[in-house]
Amino acid sequence: MGKIEDAIQQREFKDPYNKAVVNLLYTHSYLVTAQSALFKPCDISPEQYNVLRILRGQNGQPTTVSSIQDRMLNKMSNASRLVEKLKTKGMVRREECPTDRRQVDVVITEKGIQLLQSLERQVEIANREFINLDKDEVNQLNFLLDKLRG
């Protein structure tokens, strides 16, 4: 990917804070594009992958769409729409909550679990390629990103 100045053809930035924000936004787009390409052969989006991972983390226990929404990486994603698409693909089940009929519970299916298992190694390898940093640098990056968000 190289320097941000080369990537967006800009010689200099107003200040290092402006450069950092542009760099983070550009890098986000780079990662989303790379993930989209990785998941495309499986006919899922990065957001759908995120929903499946959230549901797998429930260990078979049902959860609500609003709970999924709260845990999404991209808060602007429409969890209801994502769940519906995954249901159509047979990767999740939607069930009426036995204690509150207004609530809908969502559970990952065996097909969804199998997809995640089949992608696990590919994602691990791709993440290392996307990041292109050694372990100490990754730890430093994670520390700085956590610090950035306060």
In a domain, 72, yes or no: yes
In a domain, 138, yes or no: no
Q: What was the pLDDT predicted at 100?
A: 75
In a domain, 80, yes or no: yes
End-to-end CA distance of the chain: give it in Å, rounded.
27
In a domain, 146, yes or no: no
What's the pLDDT tens digit per position in 97-111? 777 777 789 999 999
In a domain, 147, yes or no: no
CATH number of the domain within which 108 lies: 1.10.10.10
Using CA atoms, how far residue 130 sits from 33, 34, 62, 87, in Å, is 11, 8, 33, 30
Enter the pTM of the model.
Answer: 0.87
In a domain, 143, yes or no: no
DSSP 75-128: TTS-HHHHHHHHHHTTSEEEEE-SS-TT-EEEEE-HHHHHHHHHHHHHHHHHHH
Q: What was the pLDDT predicted at 44?
A: 97
Whole-angstrom Cα distance, residue 111 to residue 38? 18
- The domain containing residue 128 runs over which residues? 4-133
In a domain, 99, yes or no: yes
In a domain, 139, yes or no: no
Low-confidence ranges of the chain (pLDDT < 70): 1
Q: Are 110 and 56 in contact (CB under 8 A)?
A: no
Q: Give SS3 for 64.
A: strand
Q: What was the pLDDT predicted at 1?
A: 58
Q: Are 86 and 92 in contact (CB under 8 A)?
A: yes
Q: What was the pLDDT predicted at 93?
A: 95
User: Number of structural domains, the chain?
Assistant: 1
